[in-house]
Structure formats: C-alpha cells, structure tokens
Amino acid sequence: MIDSSGLRYDAQGLIPAILQDHVSHEVVMLGYMNAESLRQTLELGQAVFWSRSRQELWHKGATSGDYVRVHEIRTDCDSDALVLQVELLGGAVCHTGAHSCFVEPDGAAPRLVGSPSA
C-alpha cells in the first residue's frame, strides 16, 4: 500500500515510526502508524499511533498526560520507515514511567541484549 505522499505501508497498513529525542538524540520508542494516525500526527503536531494490541488509534498521552510533540518526520530510501524528532512533554514515553522504552524502568540502565564489539 502506497499513500499519496509515496509512503509504503506493510500488509497491515502500518509503517514503523522511530521516536528520537530532539535534544538528547536518544532513541526512546518504536511505534507504528497507519495513514490516518500519520495524518493526525501532522495535523496535531503530537504523536498519534496505531495500537497493534488494542487495534485502535492511540493519541499518545491522552491517558497518561505524556504527550509527545513532533518537530520533524523523515522517511528512508525505500519509504517504509519513519524517524520522528520528538519532545517528551511529560518527560516519559514508556508505560513503565521511564523516559525511554529502551532502558530499565528505573531509567538508569539499558535493556542490554549484547555488546559484541565492546
């Protein structure tokens, strides 16, 4: 599926959206968008995802207050991934309360799989 802007969605109509903190440059979350959530994100200037678990549009922060301001959206060479430069208006993006989904709930340690070249 290719939308009017040339983006390529997968068989479920989704495109992965990488969230990167626009100041620290930390990658804080990977979410998924469909064309409608991307449209709403561009309109609101806040991240709106498609929740794969709940199968519904998900305006991030609507429940938690942790809204995500979106400054810029880029795509890649084959138009099937997005990188969003974001500002965490509530300071957190993870359901654990951590600022990033890629750290432990206390926010201090990475969720490490391995350090092959360390």
Chain residues that interact with a copy of itself, rule: CB under 8 A: 5, 7, 16, 18, 20, 25-27, 29-30, 38, 41-45, 69-78, 81-83, 87, 94-96, 98, 101-103, 110-118
Which residues are CB-neighbours of 46 under 8 A, at least 6 positions away? 59, 60, 61, 67, 68, 69, 70, 89
Residue 61: CB minimum distance to a copy of itself, A:
14
- Phi and psi at residue 99, to the nearest 5°: -70, -25
Q: Are 7 and 15 within 8 A, CB to CB?
A: yes
| Residue with Cβ nearer a copy of itself (5 or 64) | 5
Token couple for 8: 């390529």
| Residue with Cβ nearer a copy of itself (43 or 54) | 43
| Residue with Cβ nearer a copy of itself (62 or 111) | 111
- Phi and psi at residue 13, to the nearest 5°: 75, 25
Residue 118: CB minimum distance to a copy of itself, A:
6
